[in-house]
Amino acid sequence: MIHENQLNPRVKSLEPSATLKINEHSQQLIKEGRDIIRLGLGQSPFPVPDSVVNSLQNHANEKDYLPVRGLQALRQSVADYYQRRDGLEIDADSVLIGPGSKELLFNIQMACQAELIIPAPSWVSYAPQALMLGRNVRYLATAMENQWQISPQQLEQLPPPGDEARLLLLNYPSNPTGSSYDPENLKALADVARRQKVIIIADEIYGETRFSGQHHSMAGFYPEGTIISSGLSKWCGAGGWRLGTMIFPKALRAVQDAMAVIASETFTSTCAPIQYAACTAFSESSEINRYLEQSRQVLSLIARFMVDSLRGMGLQMADPVGGFYLFVSFEGFREQLMARGIKTSDDLCNNLLSDTGIAMLPGSDFGLMADQLFVRMAFVDFDGGKALGAMAEGRYEPDVFVRQYCPKLYQACQRIKQWLMRSGKDNKE
């Protein structure tokens, strides 16, 4: 028997992943007959492109263990993809394949004796992964008024580099805020990171979802010190396929080698049929380009509708430029909410779920203080296949499109508006 006091204390102190927990809770409530709008888990609503699905079917009989670092053809496809999209000088030897970018992000922290630097707010699993490994976490506070971006001055103010490595995890477009960095911002951060000897892990998993289609990689400005993390989950609709990629500069091949050792002793290799199918996903094709363009158009229309609707109620947020998230401030309603006993972002989300059936996540799950009244909304509860089909047929105004093809998102805005109006009315009474 293993008793509770024999469990790893670092693991015992942690809660399950907030995004997965809210998803399972939402599904349970739906099974119980509740009318739930799921804005919790950030899962792509779009189907995997047909050509990629066909490739998976055609390679379903591939049963052999593949090389630890990944199928050579896939590593070459990934290298070609970054050369084509970003003009980066990347070869197949730079690429490491893993069972999801989440696993690779954990393994890189296992491979390095390093302090983890992350913006606040940031994705829910960065800090818990570091804490499981006993790594120090340093937060860099960001603000909605500055589009949730860290500044070069914040990197300048870090202590001088010492014996321990420092990893800055930079996710853009961002989960949870939808914000990103333009080339001038990236260059300014790169200049300081180089002087401060900070290694940047550029989490670009949402890069292809930038509404403008103009994503820029940090590796273009800091090639010797940037590791690119990505995968199939967000831009290819294949979260459950669990395929992640990492790109290493030559100066950091020792890290890649260490991660390959970890892989050889843990997951061995990534699922073979998935790797063969991923070759198709990362290859140049008119179908994939059209899929990406239409996906961005859909997300952009929804984001415009959601932002306009929520701001019309008096809520605040930065304008998202990619991904499928809004990080929404209820601070303007603090007095009314306090009168109802709502003092934290967790209270806020629990009340909204109970009263309106809308499942969201509190800002505290992303590194904000508990009393900061922010929530993350993942605007993904719609039929992505129908939305893509509609986008292929014509142009739409945001409100028309969302009403017709994303009715739950339209309902979510209506329910929040009514809830806020009721909060104010209850307060006056």
Domain match, 246 and 332 both: no
Q: How many angstroms separate the CA atoms of 75 and 98, rounded?
A: 11
Under the banding of pLDDT at 50, 70 and 90, the label for residue 60 is very high
Q: How many angstroms separate the CA atoms of 88 and 110, rounded?
A: 27
Beta bridge partners of 383: none
Angle 25-30-32 from CA coordinates, rounded to 5°: 95
Q: Is residue 143's pLDDT more than 50?
A: yes
The percent of residues above 70 in pLDDT, for the chain, comes to 96
Beta bridge partners of 98: 244
Helix (H, G, I), strand (E, B) or coil at 55: helix
For residue 135, how far is the Cα from the chain centroid? 22
Q: How many angstroms separate the CA atoms of 251 and 280, rounded?
A: 29
Q: How many angstroms separate the CA atoms of 291 and 280, rounded?
A: 13
Domain match, 112 and 40 both: no
Give the domain-ending residue among 218, 252, 284.
Answer: 284
Q: Is residue 343's pLDDT more than 70?
A: yes
pLDDT, average across residues 148-167 = 94
**What local confidence, expressed as pLDDT, does residue 4 receive?**
75
| Range name among 28-42, 146-160, 249-263, 326-340 with the lowest pLDDT average | 28-42
Domain match, 176 and 236 both: yes
Domain match, 331 and 417 both: yes
pLDDT, average across residues 104-108 = 97
Structure tokens at 216: 């820029």
- The whole domain housing 264 covers 50-284
Task: Spell out the residues 6+ positions from residue 80 whose beta carbon is closer than 8 angstroms to its own.
Answer: 282, 283, 284
Domain match, 124 and 256 both: yes
Domain containing residue 36: CATH number = 3.90.1150.10
Domain match, 192 and 153 both: yes
**What local confidence, expressed as pLDDT, does residue 424 receive?**
59
pLDDT in tens, 253-300: 999 999 999 999 999 999 999 999 999 999 999 999 999 999 999 999
pTM across the whole model = 0.93
pLDDT in tens, 380-419: 999 999 999 999 888 889 999 999 999 999 999 999 999 9
Q: How many angstroms separate the CA atoms of 173 and 113, rounded?
A: 27
Q: Is residue 425's pLDDT more than 70?
A: no
Give the domain-ending residue among 284, 304, 320.
Answer: 284
Domain match, 56 and 193 both: yes
| Peptide linkage before 173 cis (omega within 30 of 0) | yes
Domain match, 249 and 305 both: no
Q: Is residue 429's pLDDT more than 50?
A: no
Q: How many angstroms separate the CA atoms of 390 and 404, rounded?
A: 10
Domain match, 152 and 122 both: yes
Which 8-state DSSP code applies to residue 164? S
Q: How many angstroms separate the CA atoms of 410 and 14, rounded?
A: 35
Q: How many angstroms separate the CA atoms of 180 and 148, rounded?
A: 8
pLDDT in tens, 167-225: 999 999 999 999 999 999 999 999 999 999 999 999 999 999 999 999 999 999 999 99
**How many structural domains is the chain composed of?**
2
Domain match, 43 and 154 both: no
Q: Which of 219, 244, 214 is nearest to 95 (CA)?
A: 244
Domain match, 361 and 246 both: no
Give the domain-ending residue among 237, 257, 284.
Answer: 284
For the residues of 204-261, what is the DSSP string, one character each?
A: -TTGGG-TTS----GGGT-GGGEEEEEESTTTSS-GGG--EEEE--GGGHHHHHHHHH
Task: Spell out the residues 6+ positions from residue 81 whose beta carbon is closer than 8 angstroms to its own.
Answer: 282, 283
Task: Spell out the residues 6+ positions from residue 295 whose beta carbon is closer than 8 angstroms to its own.
Answer: 46, 209, 235, 384, 388
Domain match, 123 and 229 both: yes
For residue 195, how far is the Cα from the chain centroid? 28
